[in-house]
């Protein structure tokens, strides 16, 4: 059963501190590696990063692409590329993408490498920092990219100040702590979409309402997905669809009544884990 984690703190002071930290860290790097959720690339990024990361090389990683609709991902890739970002789509849990990402980093930063070479500077690695909103996959990516065997560099024992860098190879160093960006809740669909994928607390809506929003969205944009998974008539009203799912999946309370909340959690969980298919919540 899904327990959506709230692994971050919404206290404004905490956000201010994180932002200040990022402003400091960004001074040390050449390249911003920004993770977004491929299912909702707009809602899962905070455009403040463009101001924070100006004058830096930029790479957007569309993560969780294993869960996203390939057509939508294609559109978003084009969208970001037209804005001048380098883009790689991936599943950060897999190491298969890491060579490609390394090559793209070299390509994105080729001006810097060339500049260093002309100045006679040899072997100064590209310094990169991973940023993104909570739950987008930053830690997973850093682990896959760096691998377990890579030594951390930067701090001498006993020295607590200064940054920890992960030396990936002779070409790239990564700051070991990612920068946390907060989502921008300017319109309420942003919060709704982040809640649907489980990246913010479910309390934003009650769980039945959240499931009903998902049902409404799927019926309109991915017709047949619910019918195929649950063997139900999805043309009915949204509440009827949830009821039918509860029946089909035996979501029953002790007294014998149907358990809507249980059905709601089930359908949200199955959506979040890709069992309803590869589904995106935003199109470019
Ligand atoms: P962070 O808060 O940005 O550091 O995010 P985490 O690295 O902790 O990842 C959040 C959750 O997303 C974890 O449960 C990861 O296993 C999962 N996750 C990360 N990347 C992917 C991905 O590409 N595909 C899928 N399906 N899950 C992922």
Q: Give 217-228 pLDDT, tens digit per residue.
A: 999 999 999 999
Q: Is residue 6 part of a domain?
A: no
Which residues approach ligand 1 with their CB closer than 6 A? 63-64, 66-67, 91-93, 132, 134-140
Distance in Å, CA 248 to ligand 1 centroid: 30
**pLDDT tens digit sequence for 239-284:** 999 999 999 999 999 999 999 999 999 999 999 999 999 999 999 9
Q: What is the pLDDT of residue 152?
A: 56
Domain membership of residue 224 (yes or no) is: yes
Residue 213 lies in a domain: yes
Residue 1 is predicted with a pLDDT of: 37
Bridge partners of 129? 32
> Could you tell me if 19 and 129 lie in one domain?
yes
128 and 249 assigned to the same domain: no
Q: Are residues 79 and 133 in the same domain?
A: yes
Residue identifier of the C-alpha nearest atom 12 of ligand 1: 137
Question: Domain with 121 in it: what CATH number?
Answer: 3.40.50.300
Closest ligand 1 atom to residue 67 Cα is 26
Is residue 283 a part of any domain in this protein? Answer: no
Atom 2 of ligand 1, residue of closest alpha carbon: 135
Kindly tell me if the per-residue pLDDT of 62 is higher than 80.
yes
Q: Are residues 22 and 150 part of one domain?
A: yes
Sign of torsion over alpha carbons 201, 207, 209, 215: positive
- Choose one of 140, 179, 194, 269 to mutate for the ligand 1 pocket test, by most ligand atoms within 8 angstroms of C-beta: 140
Does residue 242 lie within any of the structural domains?
yes
pLDDT at 193: 95
Q: What is the pLDDT of residue 231?
A: 96
Q: Are residue 43 and residue 83 in the same domain, yes or no?
A: yes
* Residue in 36, 38, 33, 35 with CA at minimum distance from that of residue 53: 33
Q: Are 237 and 185 in contact (CB under 8 A)?
A: no
pLDDT at 162: 66
User: Residue 84: pLDDT above 90?
Assistant: yes
Same domain? For 136 and 247 the reply is no
How far, in Å, is the centroid of ligand 1 from the Cα of 137? Answer: 4
154 and 230 in one domain? Answer: no
CA 7 – CA 196 distance, rounded (Å): 16
Q: Pick from 180, 215, 237: which residue ends a domain?
A: 180
pTM: 0.91
Q: Tens of pLDDT along 106-151?
A: 999 999 999 999 999 988 999 999 999 999 999 999 999 987 545 5
| 210 and 163 in a common domain | no
How remote is the CA of residue 54 from the centroid of ligand 1, in Å? 27
- Do residues 128 and 231 share a domain? no
Q: Which two tokens stand for residue 191?
A: 């919060």
* pLDDT band of 203, cuts 50, 70, 90: low
pLDDT at 107: 95
d(CA 210, CA 193): 10
What is the residue range of 16's domain? 12-180
Query: What local confidence, expressed as pLDDT, does residue 4 receive?
Result: 41
Residue 94 CA, closest ligand 1 atom number: 23
pLDDT of residue 5: 43
The C-alpha atoms of residue 201 and residue 106 are separated, in whole angstroms, by 37
Whether the CB-CB separation of 198 and 192 falls below 8 Å is answered with: no
Check residue 154 and give its pLDDT: 52
Q: What is the whole-number distance in angstroms between the Cα of residue 232 and the centre of ligand 1?
A: 31
The answer to whether position 196 is within a domain reads no
Mean pLDDT of 6-35: 82
Does residue 214 share a domain with residue 172? no
Position 278 in a domain:
no
Q: Binding site residues for GTP, as ranges?
A: 63-66, 135-140, 179
Residue 24 C-beta-side C-alpha neighbours within 13 Å? 9
Among positive and negative, which fits the CA dihedral 11, 194, 136, 79?
negative
Quick check: is 102 in a domain? yes
- The secondary structure element, H or E, covering residue 192 is helix 188-196
Q: Same structural domain for residues 46 and 117?
A: yes
Question: Residue 49's pLDDT is what?
Answer: 93
* 131/65 same-domain check: yes
Is residue 131 helix, strand or coil? strand
Indicate the number of domains in the chain. Answer: 2
Domain with residue 257: its CATH number is 1.10.1580.10
């Amino acid at each position: 059963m899904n327990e959506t984690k709230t692994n971050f703190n919404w206290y404004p002071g905490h956000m201010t501190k994180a932002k200040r930290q990022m402003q400091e860290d960004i001074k040390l790097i050449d390249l911003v590696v920004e993770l977004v959720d491929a299912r909702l690339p707009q809602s899962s990024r905070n455009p403040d990063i463009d101001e924070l990361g100006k004058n830096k090389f930029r790479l957007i990683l569309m993560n969780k692409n294993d869960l996203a609709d390939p057509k939508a991902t294609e559109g978003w890739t084009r969208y970001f590329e037209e804005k001048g970002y380098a883009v790689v789509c991936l599943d950060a849990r897999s190491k298969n993408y890491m060579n490609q990402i390394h090559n793209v980093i070299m390509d994105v930063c080729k001006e810097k490498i060339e500049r260093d070479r002309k100045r006679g500077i040899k072997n100064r690695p590209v310094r990169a920092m991973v940023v993104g909103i909570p739950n987008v996959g930053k830690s997973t990516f850093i682990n896959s990219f760096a691998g377990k065997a890579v030594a951390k560099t930067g701090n001498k024992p006993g020295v607590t100040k200064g940054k920890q860098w992960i030396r990936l190879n002779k070409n790239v160093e990564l700051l070991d702590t990612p920068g946390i960006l907060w989502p921008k809740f300017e319109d309420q669909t942003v919060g709704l979409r982040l809640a649907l994928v489980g990246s913010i607390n479910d309390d934003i809506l009650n769980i039945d309402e959240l499931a009903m929003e998902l049902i409404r969205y799927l019926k309109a944009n991915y017709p047949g997905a619910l019918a195929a998974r649950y063997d139900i008539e999805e043309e009915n009203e949204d509440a009827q669809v949830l009821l039918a799912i509860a029946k089909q999946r035996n979501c029953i309370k002790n007294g014998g009544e149907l358990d809507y909340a249980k059905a709601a959690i089930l359908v949200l969980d199955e959506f979040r884990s890709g069992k309803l298919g590869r589904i995106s919540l935003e199109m470019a």
